[in-house]
């Protein structure tokens, strides 16, 4: 019996490792759900470059989290299985090279070029190459790939993630060069862009666009709820062969997983995710907490854990933070709400405090709850107000709306804001409440320690 226990304990740990790897997206799922046609297209595009030295270009377009990268990953895996080892470090000359670029990290063409050279394992003094034009340097790099005695350059597959960001580089010389080489057939290269932007073609310059093959492959989110659930099932199931767990344990584990997935609360919530966003990553995140609990003691997925993480997911983070602010802070929030209802779209601390004071002086006689309704002095209220600003429940309003484009967020204190506003003392900086009046009412009703007067005030 004890040996039996320890074996399945180790199994549980292995299962935990395998399942978590898949949930975090660190390991691929055993199969792709409903992505067969894009997979075939991508694979044929890449393999034709490798086998028949064609120059190919294509774009893989689809919403976030629908499996674009997974498709490419799998296609590359299939290619590797078919054509053998790709690692250029191996002694024999490699059949083909893979270069991966991402718009997130390769923010300029220069950085991208240097990284291309690095990925192709060119150990030359790059500084000299980079002096010339981009195209010159690039062809130079490609020519270096030509191993001694051979005429042809081995095929190179370029995978460009976040293609739309790469297209925003000035002059688009990276894309132009890549597309130009692919089109001119000198060197067999395949360029596969991956993007979530459906209007990505509009970002390309005319000269770049005319060199692109206009082959667009669309990837879609799962169309059927069944497929969506299937993704979770694939991630959570363990396989005795690939995950290294005992046959019996795997069977037991998988039945348990099916039970959890079939449970009414879980099924309903998965349906909700499907209806709202179809994001597979959000779906998988749901099971992380339960998978983390797996250990020698807890060998199977626990329904209670999944339900707990559903409950955490449902709760609004903002409301959670606000659910236990002090009474003074709550009163200030209610003051702001009544200012909003009075028609002001922005307001400063003085107005809020004035609202608070007016209310309190009107109701101080009514409430006799013994000290519960003390009117706090202005500096004390300002400190409470600044706590709200720090939590970004209250945000300073920039007087000019022009600064909205560049994705800048600004600092979260009262001293932020435009130069004009910065000249005013902080009590007079205009702010806005970042929650809806309805949410304020909800917030007050959820609390037990709020005096009846304030409760009524919030509901007005």
Partner 1 sequence: MSTLCDRLLTKFPGRNDQIERLLSLLGEPEDPAPPCVFVYGPSATGKTSVIRDLFSLYDTSGSHYAYINSVECFTTRLLFERTLNAWAGHVPCAENRFSNYAKCDNLVDFVNTVRDLLVSSGKQHEAHYMVIDQAERLRDRGPMLLTSLLRLPELTGGANISVVLISNVVWDKFRPRHGGAADPLSIFFPYYTKQQILQVLAKDCPSDEPQPFFLTFVDAVYEVFHRNCVDLNELRHLVAMLYPKFVQPVFEHQATRNEFARLFKLCQPYFAAASERLYLREISTSEWQKYSAVASAKNNPEDVATSIYHMAENSDGMDLPHYTKFLLISAYLASYNPSRLDVQYFARGKDPSQKRKRKGGGASAAASEDALGGKDRQQLLGPKSFAIERMLAIFYSVIAEPVDSTVDVQTQIASLITLRLLTKTSAGDRLDGIKCKCNVSLDAIRAISRSVRFEIDRFLYNFT
Site for partner 1 in 206-265 (CB under 8 A): none
**75, 60 Cβ separation under 8 angstroms:** no
Task: Using CB under 8 A, count the residues that bind partner 1.
Answer: 74
Sole binder of partner 1 in the list 64, 82, 171, 207 (CB under 8 A): 64
Q: Which of 174, 170, 169, 177 is nearest to 107 (CA)?
A: 169
User: In terms of CB distance, is 27 or 234 closer to partner 1?
Assistant: 27
Stretch that binds partner 1, among 4-12, 87-95, 182-190, 336-344 (CB under 8 A): 336-344
From the CB of 187, what's the least distance to partner 1, in Å? Answer: 24
How many C-alpha atoms does 386 have within 13 Å on its Cβ side?
Answer: 13
From the CB of 57, what's the least distance to partner 1, in Å? Answer: 23
Output the CA–CA distances (angstroms, integers) from residue 97 to 145, 332, 437, in the order listed.
10, 62, 58
User: In terms of CB distance, is 152 or 424 closer to partner 1?
Assistant: 424
Q: Measured between alpha carbons, how far is 280 from 287 in angstroms, rounded to an integer?
A: 12
Sole binder of partner 1 in the list 30, 44, 82, 111 (CB under 8 A): 111
Is 324 near partner 1 (CB under 8 A)? Answer: yes
Reported in sequence order, the residue ranges of 245-392 that DSSP labels E, i.e. its strands, are none
Q: Return phi, psi of residue 61, to 5°.
A: -120, 135
User: In terms of CB distance, is 166 or 182 closer to partner 1?
Assistant: 166
Is 88 near partner 1 (CB under 8 A)? Answer: no
Is 80 near partner 1 (CB under 8 A)? Answer: no
Sole binder of partner 1 in the list 6, 87, 104, 205 (CB under 8 A): 104
Sole binder of partner 1 in the list 57, 172, 299, 348 (CB under 8 A): 348
From the CB of 282, what's the least distance to partner 1, in Å? Answer: 6
Is 169 near partner 1 (CB under 8 A)? Answer: no
Is 372 near partner 1 (CB under 8 A)? Answer: yes
Give me the count of residues in the chain. 460
How far is Cα of residue 128 from the mean position of the Cα atoms in its chain?
Answer: 38
**DSSP designation for 241:** T
DSSP states along 33-55: SS-HHHHHHHHHHHHHHHHH---
From the CB of 201, what's the least distance to partner 1, in Å? Answer: 18
Mark residues 277-296: x for contact with partner 1 by CB under 8 A, - for none: --x-xx--x--xx--xx---
Is 170 near partner 1 (CB under 8 A)? Answer: no
Q: Measured between alpha carbons, how far is 257 from 230 in angstroms, rounded to an integer?
A: 12
Stretch that binds partner 1, among 21-29, 42-50, 239-247, 440-448 (CB under 8 A): 21-29
Q: What would the two tokens of residue 31 be?
A: 């199969």
Which alpha helices (H) appear in 62-198, and where do they start and end? 68-83, 109-119, 126-129, 134-145, 163-166, 173-184
Q: Measured between alpha carbons, how far is 200 from 57 in angstroms, rounded to an integer?
A: 14
Is 364 near partner 1 (CB under 8 A)? Answer: no
Q: Which of 95, 81, 78 is nearest to 155 (CA)?
A: 95
Stretch that binds partner 1, among 4-12, 151-159, 239-247, 422-430 (CB under 8 A): 422-430
Which alpha helices (H) appear in 214-287, and where do they start and end? 225-236, 247-262, 264-276, 280-285
Is 77 near partner 1 (CB under 8 A)? Answer: no
Mark residues 384-413: x for contact with partner 1 by CB under 8 A, - for none: x--x--xxx-------------xxxxxxx-
């Amino acid at each position: 019996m004890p040996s039996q226990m320890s074996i399945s304990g180790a199994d549980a740990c292995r299962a935990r490792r395998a399942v978590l790897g898949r949930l975090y997206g660190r390991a691929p799922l055993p199969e792709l759900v409903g992505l067969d046609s894009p997979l075939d297209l991508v694979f044929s595009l890449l393999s034709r470059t490798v086998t028949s030295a064609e120059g190919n270009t294509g774009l893989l377009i689809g919403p976030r989290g629908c499996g674009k990268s997974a498709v490419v990953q799998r296609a590359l895996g299939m290619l590797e299985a078919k054509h053998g080892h790709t690692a250029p470090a191996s002694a024999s000359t490699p059949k083909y090279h893979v270069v991966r670029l991402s718009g997130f990290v390769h923010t300029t063409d220069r950085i991208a070029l240097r990284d291309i050279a690095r990925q192709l394992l060119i150990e030359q003094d790059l500084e000299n190459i980079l002096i010339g034009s981009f195209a010159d340097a690039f062809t130079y790099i490609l020519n270096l790939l030509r191993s001694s005695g051979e005429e042809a350059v081995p095929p190179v597959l370029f995978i460009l993630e976040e293609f739309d960001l790469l297209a925003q580089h000035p002059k688009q010389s990276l894309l132009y060069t890549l597309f130009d080489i692919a089109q001119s057939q000198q060197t067999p290269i395949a360029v596969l862009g991956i993007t979530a932007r459906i209007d990505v073609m509009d970002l390309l310059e005319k000269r770049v666009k005319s060199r692109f093959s206009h082959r667009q492959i669309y990837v879609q989110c799962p169309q059927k709820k069944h497929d969506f659930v299937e993704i979770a099932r694939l991630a959570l199931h363990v396989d005795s062969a690939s995950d290294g767990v005992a046959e019996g344990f795997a069977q037991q584990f998988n039945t348990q997983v099916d039970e959890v997935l079939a449970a009414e609360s879980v099924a309903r919530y998965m349906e909700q995710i499907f209806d709202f966003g179809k994001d597979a990553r959000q779906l998988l995140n749901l099971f992380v907490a339960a998978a983390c609990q797996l250990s020698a003691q807890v060998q199977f997925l626990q329904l209670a854990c999944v339900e707990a993480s559903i409950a955490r997911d449902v709760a609004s983070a903002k409301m959670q933070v606000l659910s236990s602010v002090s009474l003074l802070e709550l009163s200030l929030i209610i003051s702001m709400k009544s200012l909003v209802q009075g028609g002001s779209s922005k307001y400063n601390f003085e107005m809020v405090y004035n609202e608070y004071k007016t209310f309190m002086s009107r109701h101080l006689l009514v409430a006799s709850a013994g000290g519960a309704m003390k009117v706090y002095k202005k500096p004390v209220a300002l400190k409470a107000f600044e706590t709200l600003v720090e939590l970004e429940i209250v945000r300073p309003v920039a007087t000019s709306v022009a600064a909205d484009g560049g994705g800048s967020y600004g600092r979260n204190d009262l001293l932020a804001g435009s130069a004009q506003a910065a000249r005013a003392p902080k009590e007079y900086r205009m702010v806005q409440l970042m929650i809806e009046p309805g949410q304020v009412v909800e917030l007050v009703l959820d609390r037990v320690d709020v005096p009846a007067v304030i409760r009524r005030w919030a509901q007005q």
